[in-house]
Chain A
Amino acid sequence: MNDHGLSLFHLEKKDFNIKLKKGVDPESLRELMSLLPAAAPAPLPQAAPAAPAVAPPAAGGEAAPVQEGEAITSPMVGTYYGKPSLDSDPFVSIGSKVSEGQTLCIIEAMKVMNEIKAERGGTIVEAGIEDGTPVQYGDDLFRIK
């Protein structure tokens, strides 16, 4: 191949097929291209869906560089309520010390009020989703230390 400056030699059998190429091999070029960071963009916007139905303000750890404690995420889809009723105090707020099994909030789905309970004790370091916000599976509800 070197003698004739070939960059590609292809061989198929059965009915016999042969392919020879001189000059630059597009295949190896493509592979080189894919290594360049700028040249290979993802075809679509990254990670988060284009227009999510829900966008809790305390979402993820993307905005804040370092976050305290660990996130308590939603185990279901529904509407978030931070208080047992309209004129009560919220279940918890920043600084609240909670014990395992304590109710943190309510997520309402299909007319059923589901109490979301703490899986372990600790101190709430982040809270503040507004009442009535729709939440999806995995959305951050609180952070606990």
Chain B
Amino acid sequence: MFSKVLVANRGEIALRIIRACRELGIVSVAVYSEADVDSLHVQLADEAVCIGPAPSRDSYLRPDRIIAAAEVTQADAIHPGYGFLSENARFAEICESCNIKFIGPSADLIRMMGDKNTARATAVANGVPVTPGSDGLYKKAEEAFEEAKRIGFPIMIKATAGGGGRGMRPAMAEGEFIAQFRAASNEAEAAFGNGDCYLEKLVINPHHIEFQIVGDSHGNVVHLGERDCSMQRRNQKVIEECPSPLLTPELRERMGDSSVALAKAINYENAGTIEYLVDAAAENFYFMEMNTRIQVEHPITEEVMGCELIKEQIRIAAGEELSSHVRNVVPRGHSIECRINAEDPFNNFSPSPGTIGLWYAPGGKGVRVDTHVYSGYTVPPYYDSMIAKLIVTASCREVAIARMKRALSEFMVRGIKTTIPFQQLVIDHPDFIAGKYDIAWVGRYLEERREEGAL
């Protein structure tokens, strides 16, 4: 087992990893930018190293400074969290060459599944359904157009190097294809340095269902069930729940088997998530992509499946076999997570950094709050706006919803705006209560409210 782990991240996930280290008796090292000197992860870590000024590109995205910090503190492993360098194959490689264990899969695996087109081809090769689409990549709109007509509209144009919803454009009909292709390609060229795109049949109003995978270095691979992340605003998740209110046991089994088959075929190690689109009828599922890291919403799986995923990641990286309780999960109850962002939902979700005068987070049975903020903390403007995750768990979905409603109503934040009032509206909505929502739901809801003049 490692003696010292450096946490190459910030905010709530850095704190989450530090807590897991503490419970495992591992010394934790936090790295931080000058803007994060008062952050909770820095305060609670055993050691801390300042790695740069506020901007991420000069601090949290600097592999050289992070590795140097690991060297001066003599850390034997690095946990990359999510975002930042967690899916950066080059960073994983540097760790490997410096004899520092990267807590995650190998650089080769990250590279393979990080390239969306390669990941798609890997899925196809292993019998995992994908949306009908192009086999290869296209540089020019005109070349892609013929293929688009063959696949049939509506089409989703996706950059192979894309991510975070960028480098993606829909083309609903032939008339807009050329323009949309060029837009997607140019955006990807600018953001990722690669404008090559592939085409996929667009699934109308799909559900986003993802499966949690865990594999160790001894060939054991299991899935830990699904998470329904269809409640999204502009391709960013807002609410997640486990299990999905949409899946039948039969579909769950098919998707679970596909996920394990794919993970085994690529010898996947450590934690990962396979994301699928499921059509409205809940009959067909299509592979979208694989995230080779821990996800933001991992707590809802932990609560229902009775596991500790961060500790499991550390154990796997240290060479241990999957824990027996992970190999034999028995799902119990229902869990929902609401992401709390420092944004004003009544002002187009504009960011609301600033000092939190009062922070009172809810508690009680089945309420878990993962956060790095506290009363008096100043939310910096340089990073992601998520400041807390509110996770509630109950014996069934109905009680979980009642509990979330209760917890949200207790949540007090003064000094900055948060998305708590928006979450309250969604949790209370008949569509959410009925479990009938898709990835376009929030967009439609906000449009309706705008027309009513209510938002």
Contact = CB atoms under 8 A, between A and B. Distances in A.
B152 to A, nearest CB: 46
Nearest to B69: A77
Interface in A65-81: 76-79
B284 interface: no
A79 B67 CA distance: 13
Nearest to A34: B357
A63 interface: no
Interface in A23-77: 30, 34, 40, 42-54, 76-77
A52 B48 contact: yes
B50 A109 contact: no
B100 to A, nearest CB: 11
A82 interface: no
Given A43-B375, A134-B73, A53 B68 contact: no
A51 B64 contact: no
B43 A78 contact: no
A20 B74 CA distance: 60
Contacts of A101: none
Interface string B51-85: 11100000100001101110111000000000000
Interface in A120-145: 134-139
Interface residues of A, number: 28
A1 interface: no
Given A49-B32, A136-B49, 17 more contacts: A40-B376, A42-B376, A44-B40, A49-B42, A49-B43, A50-B46, A50-B48, A54-B72, A76-B64, A77-B51, A77-B72, A79-B72, A109-B64, A110-B64, A110-B98, A134-B73, A137-B50
Interface of B: 29-30, 32, 34, 37-38, 40, 42-53, 59, 64-65, 67-69, 71-73, 98, 357-358, 374-376
A26 B405 CA distance: 24
Interface of A: 30, 34, 40, 42-54, 76-79, 109-110, 134-139
Contacts of B374: 43-44
Contacts of B40: 44
A44 B43 contact: yes
Majority secondary structure, B binding face: mixed
B68 A47 contact: no
A51 B49 CA distance: 10
A52 B72 CA distance: 12
Nearest to A74: B50
Contacts of A110: 64, 67-68, 71, 98
B67 A53 contact: no
A49 B51 CA distance: 13
Given A44-B43, A51-B47, A53-B49, A77 B68 contact: yes
Contacts of B73: 53, 134
Identify which of A40, A76, A77, A110 gathers the most chain B CB atoms within 10 Å of its CB: A77
Nearest to B48: A49
Given A42-B376, A51-B47, A137 B52 contact: yes
Contacts of B48: 49-53
Contacts of A78: 68, 71-72
Nearest to B377: A43
Contacts of A45: 43
Contacts of A49: 30, 32, 37, 42-43, 45, 47-48
13 contacts: A44-B43, A44-B374, A47-B37, A49-B47, A50-B42, A54-B49, A54-B72, A79-B72, A109-B64, A109-B68, A110-B64, A137-B59, A138-B50
Please name the 8 residue pairs, one residue from A and one from B, whose CB atoms are nearest each other, closest first.
Answer: A134-B72, A109-B68, A49-B48, A77-B68, A136-B50, A53-B47, A136-B49, A137-B50
Contacts of B43: 44-45, 49-50
A136 B52 CA distance: 8
Given A45-B43, A47-B37, A109-B68, A53 B29 contact: yes
Residue from B32, B50, B64 having most chain A Cβ neighbours under 10 A: B50
A78 B52 CA distance: 12
Given A44-B43, A54-B72, A110-B71, A137 B64 contact: no
B65 A76 contact: yes
A40 B356 CA distance: 13
